[in-house]
Chain A
Amino acid sequence: MMDVIKNLSDTLTLANRIIKHNIRSIDTLITVVAMPVMILLGMVFIFGGAIQIPGVTKDEYINYVLPGILLITIATGSAYTSLRINLDKTSGMFDRFKSMPIAKSSVLGGQVVASVIFMLVSIIVVLIVGFIAGFRSDATFIEWLLVGLLIILFSLALTWISIPFGLAAGSIEGASSFSYILLMLLFVSSAFVPVEGMPKLVQIFAENQPMTPIIQTLRNLLDSQSVGNDLWLSIGWMVLIILISYIFGLKAYRRV
């Protein structure tokens, strides 16, 4: 029991260190918080007027696009998680921590906790800007709760994906490159426009990749609609992502 408390306290101590890193880096704040806000405002006030989606009025486009923006926010955050992990590897901080009398899990654990907290904070900022820009939701308390849990699960999944990349990459540039794949997946999904309008091949891809069911679930929850199978499909995808990255992540961590 003492060990559990000690591990938890070490994890939080190390998470606190990474949070300081994030707060003190203007570059991180701009990319992770300001960028998604700009994309949101851009989509709503610049492109939004030209995008016509059946059953969605122009004023409601922000409701359509917000779930996708939330996922973009988390995806950009994961690039920085990977970067911080890579920096700790190349600078020797991992060696310093791993040679200390602490549970080795708390070193990665601190990164995970800090990453998820940072992602959630930027999600809150984006949500607030969304409300100011006209986002409205009919969701009940339970639906909001589910939205919250899905966002946390997605943050965890993308945090874990970033770990093996951050540990394996030889340089900072390489560490965050995987996040472009995540962003590409988000663009080729129902984040901004329905997949029905895409060329057949792209449509098949968009419908069957993990981002689309997650976005659909969030969108339907926020709109107080039934979510059907998408909820289970989303959870399945995210658990699968976490499991696979966990295995590769720990393998890479042992080699560092």
Chain B
Amino acid sequence: MNSTVLNIHNVKKSFKENVVLTNVNISVKTGSIYALLGANGAGKSTLLKIVTGLLNSDGGKVTIQNIDVADNPVAAQRLFSFSSQNSTVDGVLTGYENLHLIAKLRHKRNPKKIAEALLDKFELTDAKDKAASTYSGGMRRRLDLAMSLVGNPEIIFLDEPTTGLDPKSRQELWETIKEMKSQGKTIFLTTQYLEEADYLADQIGFLRKGEIVASGTPDELKRLAGADKLLLVVNNYQDTERTMKLLESYSPVKRGDCEISINLDEEIQTTLNVLNTLTTEKIELKNFKMITPTLDDVFMTLTRG
């Protein structure tokens, strides 16, 4: 089950003279979550529109399970579902009617049964006969996701699924997305939030000014911003100087009068050695902690470069 479900190859797009996408390449494995991370205006939505056949590209190729989206949009569209930025539920219709509508348009045998089952799965059964416009933001998003699952698509595209949600609803939605993955769905989402990509994604692509400037697993990306660091806090300046000398072989960096940081290449061994040395030399530690680079650090590194 490690086949590629989605392949984006050298996709370009300009609106008049404004270049929006330059040679974007992405491939997504079956059953994984891919997060396309980028600020507003980076070209995320444009890329999604091209991938879902809503917009023609100026060059390149998008295939979903080897079906070319531009050549054969309807065949490709059978394989995926797409929720655009504002949760696209019909506010006038009830939750049940929304699901029933999508099931009918996908020509499913038993739209009623499908709708009921999804309402149940997404805990919307109690509100099924209420107009979707009366739903809370979190409920609307859940209904939106339920609509995405109608017809069992191979891959689900979500454009900024948690934008505008309160923290609790966002957390719940994250769990739902993870659960969808655990049931074998492939999910391609866009987000502006680093923590969201970090929490959910197997693979992340950084889109900046229409270009993928970095990609990899969250861990790989964090390594781009440097290794984990060990931060030592001692009691006084003398101790700092002594520690610097004692740990010279680890190339320590002074970060203040009483703070020293050390790059950790082999985490456990280095940490043990450092602590041993300090104990033998009777240098008292006021504090010590491990610092792991966050995606924010990656983001800073990339935007600086």
Contact = CB atoms under 8 A, between A and B. Distances in A.
Interface of A: 6, 10, 13-14, 17, 20-21, 24-25, 91-93, 95-103
B101 A95 contact: no
B84 A96 contact: yes
B105 A13 contact: yes
Interface stretch (B88-96, B165-173, B177-185): B88-96
A99 B93 contact: no
Contacts of B107: 6
Contacts of A97: 105
A92 B84 contact: yes
Contacts of B106: 100-101
Interface in B75-104: 75, 77-78, 80-86, 88, 90-93, 97, 101-102, 104
| Chain A residues touching B, majority SS | helix
A102 B106 CA distance: 8
Given A96-B147, A101-B77, 13 more contacts: A14-B105, A20-B97, A21-B92, A24-B92, A93-B90, A95-B54, A96-B83, A97-B105, A99-B52, A99-B54, A99-B82, A100-B102, A102-B105
Interface residues of B, number: 30
B268 interface: no
Most-contacted residue by chain A among B97, B105, B107 (CB, 10 A): B105
Nearest to B78: A101
A172 to B, nearest CB: 14
A246 B157 CA distance: 32
A96 B82 contact: yes
B74 interface: yes
Contact of B105 (A21, A92, A95, A100): A100
B104 A13 contact: yes
Interface of B: 49, 52-54, 74-75, 77-78, 80-86, 88, 90-93, 97, 101-102, 104-107, 131, 147, 157
Contacts of A17: 90, 93, 101
Contacts of A20: 92-93, 97
B140 to A, nearest CB: 11
A21 B93 CA distance: 8
A151 B52 CA distance: 40
Contacts of A13: 101, 104-105
A228 B185 CA distance: 66
Nearest to A24: B92
B258 to A, nearest CB: 55
A25 B97 CA distance: 16
Nearest to B45: A95
B81 A99 contact: yes
Contact of A96 (B80, B88, B92, B104): B88
B88 A93 contact: yes
Contacts of B83: 96
A29 to B, nearest CB: 13
Nearest to B77: A101
Nearest to B53: A99
Nearest to A107: B105
A101 B92 contact: no
A133 B169 CA distance: 57
Contact of A95 (B84, B102, B104): B84
